Amino acid sequence: QARLANAARIVQLQTELHRKKQEADKLACTDYLTQLRNRRAMWQNLGMDFERMSREQRPLSALVIDIDFFKKINDAHGHQTGDYVLQAVADCLTNSVRSGDYVGRWGGEEFLAVLPGADIIQSAEVAERCRHHLESLRIKVDSGEVIRLSASFGVAAIDGAGREDCNALIEQADQALYWAKDAGRNRVKIYVPGVGPRRNMR
């Protein structure tokens, strides 16, 4: 009975250690504010999906999303309101993408959405739906003022046997985001090779 009791305690301790490790792993991959995947987790998932889509000979798309004039919101209403805006945007994007797609916080006011199996047309349609839903958001602050949001979207896709790597996909989506900002913000731009100068509009 003593040996059984000791064995039961060991099993209980191992179970508790496993649970704590799972919690720690989740915390390490989760953005504390939005509860989305953080940048580290997005890179990991993107890499796995790149390999999977390559094996299955299916496309893979990415959306880089930047909230327009987010600094003005922070400056005018404070960081607490800014945090609430980020949470609202995270929820809106998560509810606007397709089943099987996923969204993460890429950094600051930027988000990344990964769309396994989506070609450039499908991903542009998803981006436009997200943009429309964000534009429809109304956030009321303590002063009674209502904040209206918009965001700029850069869209890129990789497909075919000669596909580039994950870094190239993100760079292309980022380039398309620059074009969206350069064109006036609150719009979707897709990456087209060899089009337009590279400009940093952040």
What is the rounded CA–CA span in Å between residue 151 and residue 128?
10
Compute the average pLDDT of residues 26-48: 92
Query: pLDDT at position 187, please?
Result: 98
Confidence of residue 201 (pLDDT cuts 50, 70, 90): very low
CB 86 within 8 A of CB 34: yes
Query: pLDDT at position 25, please?
Result: 58
Percent of the chain predicted with pLDDT > 70: 90
pLDDT over threshold 70, residue 108: yes
What is the rounded CA–CA span in Å between residue 200 and residue 37?
26
The beta strand positions in the chain, using DSSP E, are 60-67, 102-107, 110-116, 138-140, 146-148, 151-158, 188-190
CA separation, residue 199 to residues 62, 64, 179, 196 (Å) = 20, 16, 8, 9
Is position 125 annotated as part of the catalytic site?
Answer: no
The active-site residue, picked from 51, 56, 109, 145, is 109
User: And the tokens for 99?
Assistant: 């089943």
**pTM score, two decimals?**
0.84
